[in-house]
Every structure is written in structure tokens, then in C-alpha cells.
Homo-oligomer: A and B are copies of this chain.
């Protein structure tokens, strides 16, 4: 009714899943359906293929974007080329908001992406958009807090474990449903080792070594470089540093 995810395309197993499930924020009840909001907004819809750049850091912040389907990564570059992927976004998420007049980071499509494009200039007019934006922004802030804790305080093993757990259906952030053993899972990584490394603040070699180590210890098995088989989700979860 007041949640729009279902109507905006498939939910990727890899990120958007269950994002709004269990939301208790009182505000939720008053947020209108996105489709109703969108009607007043003079949207354009754009498609991007894998690895296409959607926005570039420091460009004029002309538009705000809302993801219809697919995943988007936001990244910052240091002057010498070091890259930090600062956030991973999925269907329903917004990006491109700015307080400075230019984008604070670049956005690149992970796989094919469809976005709604909203002109910055007509954004303030819509209270419905404000409500959707604010919910998304609070979610982003929460995710960025988690990510700061990961980047600042977690070991390489904990970072990689956390990253994999992120894609295990429903788990990860919300808290395990308890240690029921033997719960296996398969997740598909849609990012290259380089992208994973740039997200986790590590090098490609360290990511590779940690994955190999987890293979050796039987925590995971890797098929075709991007399918991770998890023997026991609980066991993996214990490696994340959260519990």
C-alpha cells in the first residue's frame, strides 16, 4: 500500500531484499505510494548498461535519481586514483541529492539499471517526494554508519564476511533468527574482486586471500568466481565481528 518496492521491478537477491520489511518508523504510515508521487513529477526514465557511469563527482547536480531496477554503486576518487566505493544502492533508493550544487560522488551501474530521473529544480515542490527522500536518506545514513564501523574497525576477514552476509536473504543487518545449525545458502556476487576491494577498503589480493582462506576452512565454496555457497550462515555470521 504505502511501500513501493514491489511495483518497481524485481528485487535482487543481492541487495534490495527485504529492505523495508519490519520498518517500524511511524512516518511510514503517512508516505504515499511512489506511483502517486511520481505522477506529479515530470519524470524521465533512463536505462544504463553494466558499468555505465550515471553521474560523475563534481558535475552539476541537476537531477535526482530513483532506481527502478538494478544496483548502483557510489564512489569517491582521491586525486591519485585511489577509489572508495561508499555505498551500494538497490531498487527504491535515491541518489544525486546535493547541498553544494554538484554531486559529491560518482555513480556507476552494476549490471543493467533503470532509473527515474527527477529535475532538481522541481523536487522541492513535492511533499510526497520529500517523504520518500527522507526515508531513503535515513536508511542511507544508517547504512553509512555501518560501513564506517566496518572500514574503521573491522579486520579483512570480518569485512569480507560482512560483505557476503549482506547478500544473504534478510539476514545481515536485522539480526540472526538464532543459531539454527545447518542453514546453508547461496549468494551471487555481482561485483568483481576489484569492486569488492574498493568497497571494503582493501586490495584485490587481500580479498582474494581471505576468500581462499574461508574456502580452505570450509566456511564457503566458490563456483565460477561469483557464486558463493555458504555451508552454515550462522558460522559465517560469527566471523563478521558483529556478534
List A residues at the B interface (Cβ < 8 Å).
Answer: 22-27, 30, 61, 74, 76, 78-80, 82-84, 86-87, 97-101, 104-105, 120-121, 123-124, 127, 130-131, 133-135, 137-142, 144-149, 151-154, 174, 198, 200-201, 241-243
Residues of B within 8 A of A83 (CB): 153
Given the contacts A98-B138, A152-B151, A243-B79, A27 and B123 also touching, CB distance less than 8 Å: yes
Distance of A163 from chain B, by nearest CB (Å) = 13
Given the contacts A25-B100, A138-B98, A151 and B201 also touching, CB distance less than 8 Å: yes
Distance of A49 from chain B, by nearest CB (Å) = 25
Which of chain B's residues has its CB closest to A125's CB? B30
Which of chain B's residues has its CB closest to A144's CB? B144
Residues of B within 8 A of A200 (CB): 152
- Pairs across A and B, CB under 8 Å, 25 listed: A23-B101, A26-B120, A26-B121, A30-B124, A74-B145, A76-B145, A76-B146, A76-B149, A78-B149, A79-B241, A83-B153, A86-B144, A86-B145, A104-B141, A104-B142, A124-B131, A127-B130, A130-B130, A133-B134, A134-B134, A134-B137, A137-B138, A140-B141, A141-B144, A144-B148
Given the contacts A25-B98, A97-B138, A124-B30, A147 and B148 also touching, CB distance less than 8 Å: yes
What's the Cα separation between A153 and B198 when bound, in Å? 9
Task: Decide: B25 and A145 in contact? CB cutoff 8 A.
Answer: no
Which of chain B's residues has its CB closest to A29's CB? B124
Given contacts A86-B145, A152-B201, 18 further A-B contacts (CB under 8 A): A24-B101, A25-B100, A25-B101, A30-B124, A78-B149, A84-B153, A86-B148, A97-B141, A127-B127, A130-B130, A137-B137, A137-B140, A140-B141, A148-B148, A148-B151, A151-B151, A151-B201, A152-B200
Residues of B within 8 A of A82 (CB): 153, 241
From the candidates B98, B123, B146, name the one contacting A142 in the complex (CB within 8 A).
B98
Residues of B within 8 A of A145 (CB): 74, 76, 86-87, 104-105, 144
Which of chain B's residues has its CB closest to A139's CB? B99
Distance of A14 from chain B, by nearest CB (Å) = 20
What's the Cα separation between A23 and B141 when bound, in Å? 21
Residues of B within 8 A of A97 (CB): 138, 141
